[in-house]
Amino acid sequence: MFAYVLRRFAGAVPTLFIIVTIAFFMIRLAPGGPFDLERPLDPLIMENLNRAYNLDKPLLYQYGHYLWNLAQGDLGPSFTRRDFSVVDLFRTGLPVSVLLGGMAISLALIVGTFLGALAALKQNTAVDYAVVGTATFGITIPPFVIAPILSLLFGVWLGWLPAGGWSSGSLRHMILPVATLALPQIAIVARLTRGATIEALRSDHVRTARAYGLPTRIVVGVHALRAAILPVVSYLGPTAAALLTGSVVVETIFGIPGIGRYFVQGALGRDYTLVMGTVVVIAVFVVVFNLIVDILYALLDPRVRYD
Amino acid sequence: MLHNVLKATVFATSLLVVNGVVIAPAMSEVIYNRGNDTDPTTLDHHKTSTIAEANLMRELYEGLVVYNAKAEVVPGVAESWEVSDDGLKYTFKLRENAKWSNGDPVKASDFVFSFQRIQDPAVAAPYANMHYAIANAESVNKGEKKPEEMGLKAIDDRTLEITLAAPTPYFLELLTHQTGLPVHQASVEKFGNDFTKPGNMVTNGAYMLESFTPNDKIVMKKNPHFHDAANVKIDVVNFIPFEDRSACLRRFEAGEVLSCSDIPAEQMDYMREKLGEQVHIAPYLGSYYLPVKVKKEKLADPRVRHAISMAIDRDFLAKEIWRETMLPGYSIVPPGISNYNDPVFLEYKDMDILDREDKAKELLKEAGVEEGELSVELRYNTSENNKNTMTAIADMLKNIGISATLFEMEGTGYFDYMKQDGDFDITRAGWIGDYSDPQNFLFLFESDNLGFNYPRWENAEYDALMEKAETTIDLAERSKLLNQAEAIFLKEVPAIPILYYSSRALVSSKLKGWEDNIQDVHGTRFMSIEG
Amino acid sequence: MTDHSTIAAREVLTEAGPMIAGRSLWQDAWRRLRKNKAAVASAIVLLLLALAGIFGPLVAPHPYDRIYPQYVRTPASLEAYPKAERIIPAFESVVSRARVETGSAEVEGSTVRMPISSSEALDPRIVRYVDRSDLFENARIEELSADGRSGVMVADVHRLRFLFGTDSNGRDLLARILIGIRVSLAIGVLASAMALLFGVSYGAIAGYLGGRVDGVMMRIVDILYSLPFIFFVILLVVFFGRNFILIFIAIGATEWLDMARIVRGQALMLKRQEFVQAAEALGVDNSGILRRHIIPNTLGPVVVFVTLLVPKAILLESLLSFLGLGVQEPLTSLGLLISDGAANIQGATWLLIYPAIALTVILFALNFLGDGLRDALDPKDR
């Protein structure tokens, strides 16, 4: 198992290298540069700036320079936030995004599996329809609609929770953003769990367990859910990578200092290094979570072996 | 990485507990949560260029002269000054009690150092040209002369002499810009680029930097060494960036921020009704106009450009599209500007729109354009209001038989395209004055101003008038020259003025001392919070 | 090969079903699907919405790009506009623009009258001030005096209905929603079709050929998987401007990855089956096996996945609209309308509510149809 993990990590290095290369040249192809603002700069000043950031050098030189720094863990200076290096930005922003995303995933797992299992047990009853209906509703409303509505409802009209802000991560400030992030995930997890549980309940070993007279609670808890968790795990792998690296919608609407916004801000502002940094971080998360999914699969499903 | 993340999570959780125990840190502290447009590119003001950055810098630093609450130029670090008769030499007397936040006195040499630094090519200051009025500044910026050759002299610790290249009647106005603020020489030299970090940064304004969390807030604390500290009533200012103006509105309504630097125009009716007096709309030094590519054959005839201009119902745009957060505009220099006596306007300013349309059709006929023959593309950079404005204009052009298509571009690509003389028909641009002087608007269309002159319009007479105005000391005479220049511009309309900006803000009724002014500058040091 | 899989996909999408005639799997599925009330209802709703999107803009009372300057941000109402109390002030204001002396206006049924006079002869052209207004039509001067200096301005009240209200430019929201449905559905279907075409062929080839080819092909998928979607789209929009074709290509180009993985999994399994091995033994070449045996047999899970892909594509398009990267005006999409509506949530709620309902209904129907198809095609259920 350990050797397998090691091998996978080694395999990820060329993948990352290719991603960095593609992203580096793609963003450079985009028209405009980091210093093209609404108020155009004097050509002379532009020249000074380009020189200060090595942008006057040949592209291949810059690429080599970037790779060399990257190998040492340096993601370069940010062009649009010049008081910070890209590493600085992630150091403050990533924990925020990971915290929010982590809470949203946990919430989605707990509530989603519970609702899904409930619906499966009460298949084709009012409870089932209610869960499926709500879950579908949860998937169909885009977060950029849910977020302002939650903020208005609980922040402005009822005044129960802050309408926005982060406040160094106080719990009260986290509730609405976590709810917005979790809502569609709860819906999907509930649907996946429901489907898998129904299937599991029909399977031979659950039938046998029931025939032995084991209480439904235990049958469902131990046998059915264990099988049902597999599709959830494989769904949550890539989703977790996406959630933990922040959401541009939720961060913009609630004013949260995570890294989700950097990507869009960076790409639109041609902050080359910031975009590259985000690409690298997201790629690392995707690789890691794919690995975690595979390992979890091996642990949960005895048929899968990695040797 | 995982380890770091874990630690951060634990850290965040522990903070949370602390928050739970200590609900209000210290009751006596007056805190002002202030909405700002965006985060700054940097807190090194020599490298800044935006209005959001200027708002921050005016809190942290004090220049020789400053804007008061009404945006009048009043003494700042300089308590008095003299101007030589030829308008070329300014002698500033610095106040004795001007101090940096570490207790150092503010000296004339600090300003010499700062003004030299901004011209240093290595600093690459985007607004270095703001100071080109100072003798030799431009050559220093180009690397042709040494910084010591600039027209700056610290006669003693409290006397600063500035020599100009040409008499510049708006020089004091220029000094209120963020480029006119000083930097603390010792910390710049000690920390290099890191001098803006909290803990390193030494400032001489009413506030000093406490912390800066990107996309979250910038915290400033009252500077105890500030010369007027006794009258500064707000202890802490949190500058919060809002990319989403609706988010600021919600937090304002929830009482979480006391002011917003901009408002969502589309929700104007609601705000007027719900927030009443707290919605501040005031005249502002800004123009919104449509540059026309005059080199293109179909748009080369001024009559065609006038026809297009006449068909645009500016009242509709201002009232219905912008919900009265803009004013109908008929000139490039906005009203209310200093040093400008008899503003000129497009001659059909007061004509009814239907009569204007008739006139427009006549003009088109004269220019040999048949109805339905001309089609133009309206280009704009992404923004809800730009989109709605251009959609409405396209519809208005239909009334005079011109068909228009829309083309939206993403911001950075758009600005690059404009700068590179891109192949557009009609586009949009907006300009907010850096200082209150017509020159700051009219220079946009000088032939050699390739950065701003999107239409690539060339008019020798216009250039000559602008050049002459540059060296004219007599303000009345100068105003006349600039009038003539604008009249030529309005006769040729290489860019069609359509709207004047208003400054827009939400200001809580609890916040006292916020005075609407044409520069839209509101120093926290003049404000207080009630209740 | 490409042709074949498109046809298959299209037929399955329209539920024509028995493409592979005599195959009881498809007939069974079709039978079961018909029994699933939710799925049938969803299919009908989708069909109706698709028809509304295709033909609605042609028959809607207002063109989707027509601006009514006097009706900017008019709330939704079943009643016709203008409202009675608005007629006289509006008439007074338009007549006053003609710069003539005016008397008091009165409304009789659907006409409005107002005596007017002037120191000079009345110019008959002044009726256009009235005609220009969206509120009135057919303006004329009656009872003209002998010297031509006084008369009565008469106009018919032009009644308009805005069932869903109007937007910030004064365009009918109903017409905009109809065109939005057309654009959103088209993006959803085209992006999914593209993902289908590309994903199925890619996955089938990788899975069937296996070995080193499979390794390389799947590694490419892994790499693309780790490239963030928004990055790709922003760049495309930046390069080529915002047009409709580009947006569905961008979405399709990012969504085929999942499809390729699913199909590859199926293909890996299928190629060990006896009928494939038999075909190999008979000397059928690779492309023949792929076309005849592998691809048709992966269609079950693929069809289910497509019904989930369409809503996903529609939602992705709405995210792009939120970021300001949506389709070009005057076209619109449901995502764009909703994103406008979300910005107007305080004050003009109808701008959010109606497009949101339209989107929700579409996505609901697609989801239920997807569930129905999965149940119908799932052999384990038999």
Q: In the structure, what pLDDT confidence band is assigned to residue A160 with cuts at 50, 70 and 90?
A: very high
Contact call for residues C140 and C130 (beta carbons, < 8 A): no
Give the residue numbers spanning the domain of C307.
24-62+167-381
| CB-count burial class (<10 Å; 0-12, 13-18, 19+) for C314 | buried
pLDDT greater than 90 at residue B206: yes
CA-based nearest residue to A285, from B351, C210, C305, B1: B1
Q: What is the mean pLDDT of residues C191-197?
A: 90
CA-based nearest residue to B383, from B507, B264, B230: B264
Q: At what angle do helices A126-140 and A86-121 cross, to 10 degrees?
A: 160
Instruction: Report CA-CA distances (Å) from A124 to A202, B54, B429.
Output: 15, 63, 60
ipTM: 0.89
Q: Does B448 touch chain A (CB under 8 A)?
A: no
pLDDT of residue C275: 81
Kindly list the residues from chain A whose CB atom is less than 8 angstroms away from the CB atom of residue C235.
26-27, 29-30, 267
Q: What is the mean pLDDT of residues B166-192?
A: 92
* Closest residue, chain A, to C222 (C-alpha): A15
Question: Per the domain annotation, does C299 fall within a domain?
Answer: yes
Q: Does B194 touch chain C (CB under 8 A)?
A: no
Dist. CA B173–CA C214, nearest whole Å: 69
Question: Per the domain annotation, does C12 fall within a domain?
Answer: no
Q: In the structure, what pLDDT confidence band is assigned to residue A132 with cuts at 50, 70 and 90?
A: confident
pLDDT of residue A10: 85
Q: What is the mean pLDDT of residues B260-274?
A: 90
Q: Which residues pair with B65 in a beta bridge?
A: B75
If asked whether residues C142 and C173 sit together in one domain, one would say: no
Q: In the structure, what pLDDT confidence band is assigned to residue B22 with cuts at 50, 70 and 90?
A: very low
Dist. CA A154–CA B287, nearest whole Å: 39
Kindly list the residues from chain A whose CB atom is less than 8 angstroms away from the CB atom of residue C335.
142
Q: What is the mean pLDDT of residues C209-230?
A: 84
Pick the range with the lowest mean pLDDT from A13-22, A128-137, B342-351, C6-15. Answer: C6-15
Question: Per the domain annotation, does C252 fall within a domain?
Answer: yes
Q: What is the mean pLDDT of residues B350-365?
A: 92
pLDDT greater than 90 at residue A161: yes
- Specify the residue for token string 């990533």: A94
Q: In the structure, what pLDDT confidence band is assigned to residue B383 with cuts at 50, 70 and 90?
A: confident
C58 CA: distance to closest CA in chain B (Å): 20
Q: In the structure, what pLDDT confidence band is assigned to residue A306 with cuts at 50, 70 and 90?
A: low
Q: What is the mean pLDDT of residues B88-93?
A: 95
pLDDT greater than 70 at residue B523: yes
If asked whether residues C104 and C184 sit together in one domain, one would say: no
If asked whether residues C58 and C87 sit together in one domain, one would say: no
Contact call for residues C155 and C136 (beta carbons, < 8 A): yes
pLDDT greater than 70 at residue C22: no
Instruction: Report CA-CA distances (Å) from A168 to A176, B234, B247.
Output: 15, 22, 18
CATH superfamily of A86-300: MetI-like (1.10.3720.10)
**What chains are in contact with A, requiring at least 3 Cβ pairs below 8 Å?**
B, C
Q: In which region does residue C106 sit, left (phi positive, over 0), alpha (psi from -120 to 50) or beta (all else)? A: beta
Produce one character per residue of B254-280: b if its CB has 16 or more CB atoms within 10 Å, e if not: bebbbbbbbbbbbbbebbbeebeebbb
Contact A136 C363 (CB under 8 A): yes
Q: In the structure, what pLDDT confidence band is assigned to residue C379 with cuts at 50, 70 and 90?
A: low
pLDDT greater than 80 at residue B98: yes
- Of C130, C158, C186, the residue that ends a domain is C158
Contact B246 C347 (CB under 8 A): no
Residue of A45, A100, A160 to mutate for B, most B C-beta atoms under 10 A = A45
Contact call for residues C131 and C112 (beta carbons, < 8 A): no
If asked whether residues C339 and C230 sit together in one domain, one would say: yes
If asked whether residues C245 and C335 sit together in one domain, one would say: yes
Question: Per the domain annotation, does C180 fall within a domain?
Answer: yes
pLDDT greater than 50 at residue B97: yes
Q: In the structure, what pLDDT confidence band is assigned to residue A41 with cuts at 50, 70 and 90?
A: confident
Q: What would the pLDDT profile of A79-123 be if each residue is shown by its tens digit?
A: 889 899 999 999 999 999 999 999 999 999 999 989 988 898 888
**What chains are in contact with C, requiring at least 3 Cβ pairs below 8 Å?**
A, B
Q: Which residues pair with B208 in a beta bridge?
A: B221
pLDDT greater than 90 at residue B49: no
pLDDT over 90 for what percent of chain B? 75
pLDDT over 70 for what percent of chain C? 92
pLDDT of residue B372: 87
Contact A255 B15 (CB under 8 A): no
Q: Could you give the residue ranges of the DSSP H alpha helices within B24-107?
A: 51-60
- Of C131, C158, C185, the residue that ends a domain is C158
Q: What would the pLDDT profile of C241-252 be if each residue is shown by its tens digit?
A: 777 788 888 888
- Of C132, C158, C184, the residue that ends a domain is C158
Q: What is the CATH number for C357?
A: 1.10.3720.10
Q: In the structure, what pLDDT confidence band is assigned to residue B413 with cuts at 50, 70 and 90?
A: confident
pLDDT greater than 60 at residue B12: no
Kindly list the residues from chain A whose CB atom is less than 8 angstroms away from the CB atom of residue C226.
15-16, 19, 282-283, 286-287
Question: Per the domain annotation, does C47 fall within a domain?
Answer: yes
If asked whether residues C105 and C148 sit together in one domain, one would say: yes
Contact call for residues C267 and C208 (beta carbons, < 8 A): yes
* Closest residue, chain C, to A14 (C-alpha): C223
Q: How many domains does chain C have?
A: 2
pLDDT of residue B203: 95
Q: Who contacts C264 (Cβ-Cβ below 8 Å, separation ≥6)?
A: C202, C203, C204, C206, C207, C214, C218
Contact C225 A238 (CB under 8 A): yes
If asked whether residues C223 and C93 sit together in one domain, one would say: no
CA-based nearest residue to B410, from A247, A270, C344, C65: A270
User: C50 versus C303: which is more confidently predicted?
Assistant: C50
pLDDT of residue B251: 95
pLDDT greater than 50 at residue C94: yes
Question: Per the domain annotation, does C11 fall within a domain?
Answer: no
Q: In the structure, what pLDDT confidence band is assigned to residue C232 with cuts at 50, 70 and 90?
A: confident
If asked whether residues C312 and C375 sit together in one domain, one would say: yes
Q: In the structure, what pLDDT confidence band is assigned to residue B499 with cuts at 50, 70 and 90?
A: very high
Give me Rg for the CA atoms of chain C. Answer: 29
pLDDT greater than 50 at residue B20: no
C-facing residues of A in 248-307 (CB < 8 A) are 248-249, 263-264, 267-268, 275, 278-279, 282-283, 286-287, 290
Q: In the structure, what pLDDT confidence band is assigned to residue B497 with cuts at 50, 70 and 90?
A: very high
Dist. CA A275–CA C231, nearest whole Å: 8
Domain boundaries, chain A: 86-300
pLDDT over 70 for what percent of chain B? 95
Q: What are phi and psi of C164, to 5 degrees?
A: -105, 10
Produce one character per residue of B206-221: b if its CB has 16 or more CB atoms within 10 Å, e if not: bbbbbebbbbbbbbbe
**pTM for the predicted model, two decimal places:** 0.87
Q: Residues of C near A (CB-CB distance < 8 A)?
A: 219, 222-223, 225-228, 230-231, 234-235, 238-239, 311, 315, 318-319, 322-323, 335, 338-339, 341-342, 345-346, 352, 356, 359-360, 363-364, 367-368, 374, 380
Q: What would the pLDDT profile of C252-291 be if each residue is shown by its tens digit?
A: 888 888 888 888 888 887 877 788 888 888 888 888 888 8
pLDDT greater than 70 at residue B466: yes
CB neighbours of residue C55 within 10 Å: 12
Dist. CA A269–CA C316, nearest whole Å: 22
Q: What would the pLDDT profile of A253-270 be if each residue is shown by its tens digit?
A: 999 999 998 988 888 888
A244 CA: distance to closest CA in chain C (Å): 13
Kindly list the residues from chain B whose CB atom is less than 8 angstroms away from the CB atom of residue A256.
215-216
By three-state DSSP, how is residue B441 classified? helix
pLDDT greater than 80 at residue C238: no
DSSP characters over A243-291: HHT--HHHHHHHT--SSHHHHHHHHHTT-HHHHHHHHHHHHHHHHHHHH
pLDDT of residue A120: 86
pLDDT of residue A305: 56
Q: What is the CATH number for C103?
A: 3.30.1360
If asked whether residues C139 and C52 sit together in one domain, one would say: no
Residue of B249, B387, B403, B423 to mutate for C, most C C-beta atoms under 10 A = B387
If asked whether residues C245 and C318 sit together in one domain, one would say: yes
pLDDT greater than 50 at residue C21: no
Q: Does B390 touch chain C (CB under 8 A)?
A: yes
pLDDT over 90 for what percent of chain C? 12
Dist. CA B503–CA A234, nearest whole Å: 52
Q: Please give the structure tokens belonging to residue B169.
A: 């009647």
Q: What is the mean pLDDT of residues B323-334?
A: 94
